[in-house]
């Protein structure tokens, strides 16, 4: 194998892109044929905005970034980023090799995360404290979901030895979460993989399996972890991703 494959990592709602650093380090340690990068989404956390952040804002941001990368990357998304993966695949199927959902929202056409959450018995999403408005400059206010830091360990980081609140933003834009997907042939044409997290307390295993059952996927993997496998099992997650990407890994580097 002479070519190097690129993996792009997208964080979930509230997470900073640095959450993927452990996995990226493990990928670099395991193979010289893989290169990875990550990116944060536009947000209201200290940024002045003239217009609302939407799902299309996210998709456009990622599409612009990956268009500058060599070849077609494999794009990996966690949690909320599942809707970005789906919409990205629909609009730019020619720009990506495959998409990988890591305990992420794999929704059908016309569905939104907010609608999906509303069907739950408790109607809760992740570690939401409140739905409120935030001023983002020039007197403009936009809807956001504030994180409940008191429940971050329980819902997002069960299994983590240490939880740093610096890894999370206070707010996440609400508009993308209530936006319904518009997907069809473009989305269907892109190879899709799903990595289930069996001990997840943010998106339950039952919910993950229900979403997965709606689609024909190229592959499904399973990890006995909570919602943040990149924080608790970075090496094992890296192995799965390299396997999906068909990147050779020397046996001595496997944990």
Give the count of beta carbons closer than 10 Å to the beta carbon of residue 190.
22
**Longest Cα separation, the chain:** 57
- Among 239, 227, 178, 172, residue whose Cα is nearest residue 199: 227
User: Which residues, 6 or more positions from 253, have their beta carbon under 8 angstroms from its beta carbon?
Assistant: 29, 30, 31
**Sheet-wide strand order for 34-38:** 34-38, 5-10, 74-78, 98-102, 192-197, 219-223
Global pTM value = 0.93
Handedness of CA 21, 27, 30, 31 (dihedral sign): negative
Strands 128-135, 141-147: pairing kind? antiparallel
Q: Which residues pair with 135 in a beta bridge?
A: 141
16: exposed, middle or buried (Cβ count in 10 Å: 0-12, 13-18, 19+): middle
Q: 């943010």: which residue's tokens?
A: 202
Region 217-236: mean pLDDT is 96
- Among 219, 211, 19, residue whose Cα is nearest residue 120: 211
As given in the structure block, the two tokens for residue 4 are 């190097």
Give me the pLDDT at residue 153, please. Answer: 82
Give me the pLDDT at residue 128, please. Answer: 67
Give me the pLDDT at residue 238, please. Answer: 97
Give the count of beta carbons closer than 10 Å to the beta carbon of residue 34.
21
For 151-177, write each residue's pLDDT tens digit. 888 888 887 877 676 688 888 999 999
- Domain CATH number, residue 226: 3.40.50.1820
DSSP at 168: B
Helix, strand counts (H, E) of the chain: 10, 9
The residue with greater pLDDT, 149 or 45, is 149
Mean pLDDT, the chain, integer: 89
| Residue ranges making up the domain that contains 192 | 5-253
Q: Is the pLDDT of residue 122 over 80?
A: no
DSSP at 51: S
Of the pLDDT bands very low, low, confident and very high (cuts 50, 70, 90), residue 119 is confident
Answer whether 241's CB lies under 8 Å from 17's CB: no
Give the count of beta carbons closer than 10 Å to the beta carbon of residue 18.
14
Whole-number percent of the chain with pLDDT over 90: 67
Report the number of distinct structural domains present in the chain.
1
């Amino acid at each position: 194998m002479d070519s190097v494959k690129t993996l792009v990592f997208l964080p979930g709602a509230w997470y900073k892109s640095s959450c993927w650093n452990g996995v990226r380090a493990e990928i670099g340690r395991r193979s010289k044929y893989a290169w990875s990068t990550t990116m944060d989404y536009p947000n209201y956390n200290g940024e002045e905005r003239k217009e609302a952040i939407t799902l299309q804002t996210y998709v456009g941001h990622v599409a612009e970034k990956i268009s500058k990368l060599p070849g077609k990357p494999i794009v990996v998304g966690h949690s909320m980023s599942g809707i970005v993966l789906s919409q990205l695949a629909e609009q730019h199927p020619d720009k990506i090799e495959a998409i990988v959902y890591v305990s992420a929202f794999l929704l059908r056409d016309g569905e939104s995360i907010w609608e999906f959450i509303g069907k739950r018995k408790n109607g809760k999403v992740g570690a939401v404290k409140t739905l409120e408005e935030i001023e983002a400059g020039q007197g403009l206010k936009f809807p956001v979901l504030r994180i409940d830091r008191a429940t971050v360990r329980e819902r997002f980081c069960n299994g983590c030895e240490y939880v740093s609140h610096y890894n999370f933003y206070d707010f996440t834009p609400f508009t993308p979460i209530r936006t319904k997907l518009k997907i069809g042939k473009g989305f269907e044409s892109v190879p899709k993989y799903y990595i289930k997290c069996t001990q997840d307390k943010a998106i339950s295993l039952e919910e993950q399996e229900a979403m997965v059952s709606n689609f024909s996927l190229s592959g499904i993997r399973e990890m006995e972890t909570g919602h943040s496998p990149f924080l608790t099992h970075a090496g094992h997650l890296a192995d799965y991703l390299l396997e999906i990407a068909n990147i050779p890994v020397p046996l001595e580097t496997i944990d």
